[in-house]
Structure 1
Amino acid sequence: MSVDPRRLRTCLGHFATGVTVVTCDAGGVPHGATVNAFTAVSLDPALVLVSLHRDSKAARHLGGRPFTVNVLHEAQHDLALHFAGRAPTPATPHWESSAPGLAPRLAGSLATLACSPWAEYDGGDHVLFLGRVEEFAHRADADPLVFHQGGFRALA
């Protein structure tokens, strides 16, 4: 059976997801990509997974390197567009320092999970990156930014 990729993408778009920016160090310069293909995998050991298109800059930068998953809140819509390469006006990301050996993180995110590389898997036109959570933080004073049917949404 042949699957039409556009129709499949439309179908998958009915699943609402949170919006993250996955960040890493790209030769001394912070780099990030907006990603909604993120999930928790295991609590022991603490593992998370991000899925990146194989041909993306982010996938090339992430291989074997630490990364941080930054969960965005509803007021960070501009950052989501910026790191997706679709911002009508450039956003200025503000970075927080991270512990030595961990990837940079975005200031003000709803949650952050700083990860060391655990494993990489072939995911067809994507690469699946598993990271071991080394440190994390979260806040409770904002709602998440959500992606559904091709657009960003707020919970309320």
Structure 2
Amino acid sequence: MAVDPAELRSCLGHFATGVTVITCDGDGSPHGATVNAFTAVSLDPPLVLVSLDRKSKACKYLDGSPFTVNVLTEPQDDVALHFAGRPRSRSPEWEPGEAGLAPRLRGSLAWISCTPWRSYDGGDHVLYLGEVQRFEYRSTDPLVFYLGSFRHLGPAFETVPWLESGDSPGISWFAPAT
């Protein structure tokens, strides 16, 4: 069965994601790209993954270079649009990275500065694994992307669902299949 790329994209859009801007130093100046394909990979060693379209300008800057994942907060939709190629009236505010690390965006919910670990062919994308060197976060609501639009979080659940599940890392047994 042939997969229709437009239909697959619509299906994948049903998975809500956070919004990040991946930043790096390219040609002596800071660059960034809005990315929602970001995930944690490992705690030991500390690794994260970002996926970039291999035709994107950011892809050429990331190859073998340090990068920072900037997790955007709810009011940073203009920053997300700026780095998606639709600049708004105000330019993003930069903070320098520490020695050997990529610059970051001021006002982000969190930032994770990485050095390159590995890169892999991901079809029309390149998968970049970065080893976390420094990070910082604060408590506020994230910017969320769902079905092609920016969204806001709803109210939080009263309990954390996975802490009570059989798949929790802190529980030493597995629930039987039903």
Which bin holds the TM-score, normalised by the shorter protein? Answer: over 0.9
Residues 53-98 of structure 1: CA distance to partner in whole angstroms, max 9, x if unpaired? 01000111100000000000001000000000123x3331111122
8 Å CA contact 1:146, 1:154 repeated in 2: yes
Which letter maps to 2:148? G
1:46 — aligned with what? 46
User: Are 1:66 and 2:66 counterparts?
Assistant: yes
Q: What is the rounded CA distance, in whole Å, between the counterparts of 1:99 and 1:36 in structure 2?
A: 25
4+ residue stretches of structure 1 with deviation over 3 A?
A: none
Q: Supply the RMSD in Å over aligned alpha carbons.
A: 0.8
Please, which runs of 5 or more residues in structure 1 have no aligned partner?
A: none
- Aligned partners of 1:91, 1:155: CA distance in 2, in Å? 25
| Aligned-pair CA distance for 1:154 | 1.1
The normalised TM-score by structure 2 is: 0.85
Once residues 122 and 90 of structure 1 are traced to their aligned partners in structure 2, the CA distance between those partners, rounded to angstroms, is: 36
8 Å contact 1:22–1:34 — kept in the other structure?
yes
Aligned residue for 1:143? 141
CA distance, structure 2, for counterparts of residue 155 and residue 18 of structure 1: 10
Question: Does the residue aligned with 2:100 lie in a helix, a strand or coil?
Answer: coil
Aligned to 2:153: 155
> Matched residue pairs, number?
154
- What CA distance in whole angstroms lies between the structure 2 residues aligned with 1:123 and 1:91? 34
Larger Rg computed on CA atoms: 2
Give the secondary-structure state (helix, strand or coil) at the position aligned to 2:32.
strand
CA distance in 1, matches of 2:34, 2:152: 17
SS in 2 for 1:30: strand
Which amino acid in the other structure matches residue 130 of structure 2?
G
Higher RCO (CA 8 Å, separation ≥ 6 residues): 1
Equivalent-residue separation in structure 2 for 1:54 and 1:23 (angstroms):
16
Deviation at 1:23, TM superposition (A): 0.1
Q: Does 1:120 align with 2:119?
A: yes
Q: Cα deviation per residue 1:97-155 (whole Å; 9 max; x = unaligned)?
A: 22100000001100000000000000000000000000000001x20000000111111
Cα displacement (A) at 1:27: 1.3
TM-score (ref. length: structure 1):
0.97
Q: Specify which structure has the higher proportion of strand.
A: 1
Counterparts in 2 of 1:1-156, with a 5 A limit?
1-87=1-87, 89-140=88-139, 142-156=140-154
Q: Is the 8 A contact 1:82 1:90 kept in 2?
A: no
SS in 1 for 2:8: helix
Q: Given residue 144 of structure 2, which amino acid in structure 1 is its aligned partner?
A: V
